Structure 1
Amino acid sequence: MVLSLSPLNCSRPTMALRRLVGHYWASAGGANAVYPALPDGAVDLVIEILPSSFQSWLYGTTTVRTIFPLDSQARYIGIRFRPGCSRHFMRIAARELTDRHEPAQDVLRFPLAEFAERSAEGDWAVGLDDLLSRYLARQPPRTNAIDRAVDLIESRRDTIRIREVASYVGKSQRQFERDFLENVGISAKLFASIIRFRHAARLIRDGMPIAAVAADTGYADQSHLSHEFKRLAGVSPRRFPREAVDFLQDRV
């Protein structure tokens, strides 16, 4: 079977939601279409809309490159929550979804039926803004120490010591590591590795020599960088630019 990548349309949420939501995305299935996803620490709400029905799932963050098949008859709409922020919308911890998915009705805090009906008639991104805004008006979100930790790790994009992050947010390292896993779904160490990997991947896509990328992003050497790419992307750094796979965050 020949597999093809499904084109995605991405949209940013309204400003009031950007603290919690990275972006929305939409795709049509198409014949034999698949979507390859790279690890990024995010949880996705995925809505599959068929001609006479709809289904929805919450997909946890992944730790390896993952291929998702798409139904050729379906339309897909998704919400990519920022790392650690799915807790505002789910009844379970993010760690319970890592490398897994569950039917949305089992874990989501609000119903989707009304949105699925409206999305066929109007602007799906506006519909998602409205859906989330109405829910958060009833359940206002509160920031926590893990939100600050995620911001710090994302801003560094290179080597960072986990005990330094724990100290920054005012927690013991042991408590911080437990809380991070609970909220984000992966360890803080793995999340920091993924953020550094994402930064390196962008530089390689932009044409920077691999040795220079390794030095710029804090890898011990080119061999270390290559090992991380094979672990997280399933391919070598040299092959990566030719792969039809990227991060949804880079499309908006």
Structure 2
Amino acid sequence: MSVYAIHAAPAKRFHVAHACAAAALPTRHVASLGLLDVEALGGGVHRGLPHELFMVTAYCDERLDCRSAGAGDGGALRVMVSALRTQAVNFQTQGRGQLAIAMLTPLGLLRAFGRPWDRLCNERLPLREIVPAWQEAMLHGALVDAASGPERCAVFGRWLESRIGERRPLGWQAERVAAAAMSLLEAPELSVDELAGQHRVSRRQLERDFRHWLGVAPAGYARLVRFQRAACAIAEGTPLAHVAAEQGYADQAHMTRSFSETAGVTPRQLREGGGPAAALRSVFAQRMIMLPAAGEAEALRLAA
């Protein structure tokens, strides 16, 4: 689940070009897949808030550049893989073009790439650092050459399915971490001790394995899931006190402190920002939230 907050002028416009239907996706591996048209001709900055899924982002146009503020990623790097985001990250965007974005579950990530993600939280890796450069070139070329949005989504989906379907050997520790993470994705209220018991491993070993393969401990992953569930419920208009109770916060004040510490925004700031653009959220299975700053609301309304 990915939450974005636009916080700087000039306006940055998003338009949904195509969204794959959930029924067409292997949802235990790929939570969503879609295309966005992005326009930031005068430059634009958005803040990516913490999320508990992994993303593969392909730039389908040479005219579009999006990089972490102050970092060297982006530019000529055409396909990026994002690790878990445990803190807010600012992104600077310039130009106009189309993005293909797939959101992967922990199981999907490990199946697709079969590598550990220790010490990589909040990082974006060029795909060429994970797979041979010729594979990245072939994928990017096929996306650029695709004649339509649905065709681009089909190309991207087939590539992901082929990666996942290769069934590269992960080893029993990675398999256990993937299974445990999927359990937390469904039920973040599970305690680490309960989770360790379910998978017949000590708490300490499970924590070590989680950090090695996903970059966070089980408790940290559960917090990300809970944060995202709460943020989405707030965007849907659910009363804050009800969200706090449903998502396991002690009370509304506890939820507010947790949001501020985790994401740098309060629940009310999410609520008062005007709510998510429904069309934009649809491309990410109702998980993308836009929080416009002053002057951005009209751009987002038009983009939706």
Q: Does 1:27 align with 2:52?
A: no
Who is 2:236 aligned against? 206
Name the SS of the counterpart of 1:70 in structure 2.
strand
| Counterpart pick for 2:182 among 134, 145, 151 | 151
Do the aligned residues in 2 keep the contact of 1:13 with 1:21 (CA within 8 Å)? no
Q: TM-score, normalised by structure 2?
A: 0.71
Whether 2:110 is the aligned partner of 1:90: answer: no
Which runs of at least 4 in structure 1 moved beyond 4 Å after TM superposition? 12-16, 51-54, 140-143, 244-247
User: Is 1:14–1:129's contact at 8 Å kept on the other side of the alignment?
Assistant: no
Give the superposition deviation at 1:84. 4.5
Matches within 5 A, 1:184-223: 184-223=214-253
The reply to whether residue 250 of structure 1 matches residue 275 of structure 2 is: no
Q: Is the 8 A contact 1:57 1:104 kept in 2?
A: yes
Q: Show structure 1 runs of 5+ residues with no match.
A: none
Aligned with 2:135: secondary structure?
coil
Report if aligned partners of 2:58, 2:100 keep a CA contact under 8 Å in 1. Answer: yes
Q: 2 CA distance for matches of 1:245 and 1:34?
A: 19
Q: Which amino acid aligns with 1:149?
A: A
Query: Alignment length, in residue pairs?
Result: 251
Q: How does 1:1-252 map to 2 (within 5 A)?
A: 1-8=9-16, 9-12=18-21, 17-31=26-40, 32-51=43-62, 55-90=78-113, 92-108=115-131, 111-119=135-143, 120-122=145-147, 123-139=151-167, 144-157=175-188, 159-243=189-273, 248-251=284-287
Identify the structure with bigger relative contact order (alpha carbons < 8 Å, sequence gap 6+).
2
Q: Using the alignment, how far apart are the partners of 2:146 and 2:138 within structure 1? A: 12
CA apart distance, 1:54:
6.5
For 1:149 and 1:132, how far apart are their aligned partners in 2? 22
By how many angstroms is 1:137 displaced?
A: 4.4
CA distance in 1, matches of 2:243, 2:197: 29
- 1:74 partner amino acid: G
Change (3 A) 1:239 1:105: same
Q: Deviations over 1:34-70 (max 9, x none)?
A: 5543322222222223348762222211112223233
Please give the alpha-carbon distance, in whole angstroms, between the structure 1 residues aligned to 2:23 and 2:131. Answer: 21
Which moves more between the two structures, 163-172 or 207-216?
A: 207-216
Note if contact 2:77-2:126 (Cα within 8 Å) is conserved in structure 1. Answer: no
> 1:45 is aligned with what amino acid?
V
Percent of matched pairs sharing the same residue: 20
Q: CA RMSD in A?
A: 2.9
SS at match of 1:17: coil
Q: Is the 8 A contact 2:22 2:285 kept in 1?
A: no
